[in-house]
């Protein structure tokens, strides 16, 4: 990916992107977006990019699609990173909001297809897969997360978009430590989990190949 001076980079997603942005003065949150802001300003000071945290806690793919024009397109971004899907998966298990319809994998893929079309307005568009920080590959939530990630990969392939496989990133980490060491609930990353996500995004921004797990 070729970064340009004063690029506007928008990160669209849910709570894993939001990371408490309303509690920070710069509205970047305390997660991977904040880390990337520091990395870009420290290591690429000539670029002077603008980073926008467009994550909203609790959002699923349908809700992100509904607010895309207001929260993403309105910034006229040069680059968009989109990480959405874990709530589409999680709601099948926690049932915290019984009034909200569940998003099937088929509907999720359709929502992503519409998001992908809207993403064509940006110079660069990158999907980031949903993930579950669980070593046991037979775990039912991990299995469902992988199905939704596969749907995202199909959409990315149809549009020739880059994709960051975050499950692969966390699997490489979990060869040595448990998923709960980077996330108390195996979804919301702590500072170390945020570093893993930021590093994966940094590789894309720098045009670097990911090392093999």
Active-site annotation, residues: 15, 185, 188
Strand order from edge to edge, sheet including 79-83: 50-55, 8-13, 79-83, 124-128, 162-164
The DSSP string of the chain is: ----TT-EEEEEESHHHHTTGGGSTTS--SSHHHHHHHHHHHH-TTT--EEEEEE-TT--HHHHHHTHHHHTGGG--SEEEEE--HHHHHHHHH-S-TTSPP--HHHHHHHHHHHHHHHTTSSEEEEE------S-TT-HHHHHHHHHHHHHHHHHHHHT-EEE-HHHHHHHHTTTS-GGGT-TTSSS--HHHHHHHHHHHHHHHHTPPPPP-
Length of the chain in residues, anyone? 213
Distance CA 115, CA 83 (A): 11
């Amino acid at each position: 990916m070729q970064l340009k001076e004063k690029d506007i980079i928008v990160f669209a997603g849910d709570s894993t992107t939001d990371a408490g942005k309303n509690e920070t003065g710069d509205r970047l949150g305390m997660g991977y977006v904040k880390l990337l802001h520091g990395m870009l300003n420290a290591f690429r000071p000539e670029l002077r990019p603008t980073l926008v945290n467009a994550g909203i806690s609790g959002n699923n793919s349908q809700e992100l699609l509904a607010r895309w024009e207001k929260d993403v397109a309105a910034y006229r971004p040069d680059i968009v990173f989109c990480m959405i899907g874990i709530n589409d998966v999680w709601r099948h298990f926690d049932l915290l909001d019984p009034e909200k319809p569940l998003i099937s994998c088929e509907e999720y893929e359709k929502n992503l297809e519409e998001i992908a079309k809207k993403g064509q307005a940006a110079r660069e568009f990158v999907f980031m897969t949903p993930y579950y920080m669980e070593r046991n590959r037979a775990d039912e939530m991990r299995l469902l997360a992988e199905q939704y990630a596969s749907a995202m990969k199909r959409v990315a392939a149809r549009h020739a978009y880059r994709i960051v496989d975050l499950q692969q990133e966390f699997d490489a980490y979990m060869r040595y430590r448990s998923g709960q060491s980077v996330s108390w609930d195996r979804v919301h990353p702590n500072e170390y989990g945020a570093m893993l996500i930021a590093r994966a995004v940094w590789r894309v921004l720098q045009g670097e190949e990911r090392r093999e797990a």
